Amino acid sequence: MRQSLTLTLYLGRQYLVAILSIIIVLAVLAYSFDTIELLRRASSRADATLDLVLQMSLLKLPTLTTKLFPFAALFGGMLALSRLTRSQELTVARAAGVSVWQFLFPGLAITFLLGAFVVTVYNPLSAAMLARYENIEAKVLRGRSSMLALSPSGLWLREADASGQVVVHALRAAQQGVQLYDTILFYYDSSDRFVKRIDAATAFLENDHWSLQQAVVSYPDRPAEWHPAMTVPTTLTFDRIQESFASPSTISFWQLSSFISTLESAGFSAVRHRLHFYSLLATPVLLCAMLLIAASFSLRLTRGGGIGLMLAGGVAVGFLLYFSVELMQPFGLNGTLPAPLAAWAPTIVFAMLGISRLFHLEDG
């Protein structure tokens, strides 16, 4: 039986309204809880005013909302289908010969398009706002005054050309990576043989060179030399150093691919960014998978009833989704699983689970 356009549009509207209603409710809850947490952290900071905390929560909200979209697809699908069931519209449609796949098609189309919107349009906005949030957080809540958060071993940078490479290490940085403290520069020739080492109290990046203060130059075959100030050439730029500190969530989907190439060509590991990139690509399919699972729980109501069972099943699936995503992340980051597999595995599992349950409920 061919489904009419009127019925398709009607069902699509029901799915869209339900999903948007759920995401609004979840966003309000997320904003409230995040604001309370920020107020707790800001209680000991005199310059962290209420207006600033509310602004920070608002800047972080799009990123939090992005993580809630799968749950919105799950509970929104349940809400839409339960409404159609209570009004007997779903029962009449099925009695008229409309299969489960036909009345699910508008919802699947809506969730897929919504996922594509989240990745291509919403993500760049949330990335920009999160970057602004992290800057304010570092300055106000962590008291670092534009200092960048570093790993325990400090900052490592590498620049290479045909004549060799220079490895730069610093314990901490300021001015978004332009100024480095307790800096060490290791020089190697094209055969990776050590040439010299420069220890400097500070290193400031200018147009095409580092300006070093209180520098000690050490050679493998002659005494060390001390310089109160000196300059050394570099190919590093402000943008490249700033990007080195950018977390994947602060980079737009459209810039992730080129940024990954830049990281890898400079000798840095881009596994974290690549995993985030593939996770974004999986978002539309993940939303569809959550709708399939929502349908498998909601269809059971038409035969056995039990709104409590539906809600309990939805909550269980939501926690299972969170657990599976969190479980796959470490495997992808440490290289145990390829980044595409680690990012897509939860989506594939949930999609297969939803499809198999629907086949069982529809065809026995």
Q: Tens of pLDDT along 251-275? A: 899 988 887 876 665 455 678 888 9
- Which pLDDT does position 266 carry in this prediction? 45
Locate 363 and state its tokens. 């065809």
Number of domain units in the chain: 2
Task: Give the pLDDT band (50/70/90) at residue 310.
Answer: low
Q: Identify the domain boundary among 210, 237, 264.
A: 237
Instruction: Kindly state whether residues 283 and 134 are assigned to the same domain.
Output: yes
Residues β-bridged to residue 166: 159, 187
Locate 76 and state its tokens. 């929104």
pLDDT at 148 over 80: no
Residue-wise pLDDT for 193-245, tens only, equals 888 999 999 988 888 888 999 999 998 888 888 999 999 888 777 666 655 55
Report yes or no on 265 lying in a domain: no
- Which pLDDT does position 82 carry in this prediction? 82
Mean pLDDT (the chain) is 81
Residue-wise pLDDT for 36-66, tens only, equals 988 888 887 777 788 888 899 999 999 999 9
Instruction: Kindly state whether residues 133 and 278 are assigned to the same domain.
Output: yes
- Which pLDDT does position 160 carry in this prediction? 72
Instruction: Kindly state whether residues 94 and 185 are assigned to the same domain.
Output: no
- DSSP for 55-100, please give it: HHHHHHHHHHHHHHHHHHHHHHHHHHHHHHHHTTHHHHHHHTT--H
> What's the predicted TM-score (pTM) here?
0.73
Mean pLDDT score, 151-169: 72
**H helix runs in the chain, sequence order:** 5-42, 50-86, 89-95, 100-117, 123-136, 238-244, 253-265, 271-281, 283-298, 301-304, 307-333, 339-363
Query: Cβ contacts of residue 119 below 8 Å, gap of 6+?
Result: 253, 280, 281, 283, 284
Look up the domain containing 220 and give its range.
155-237
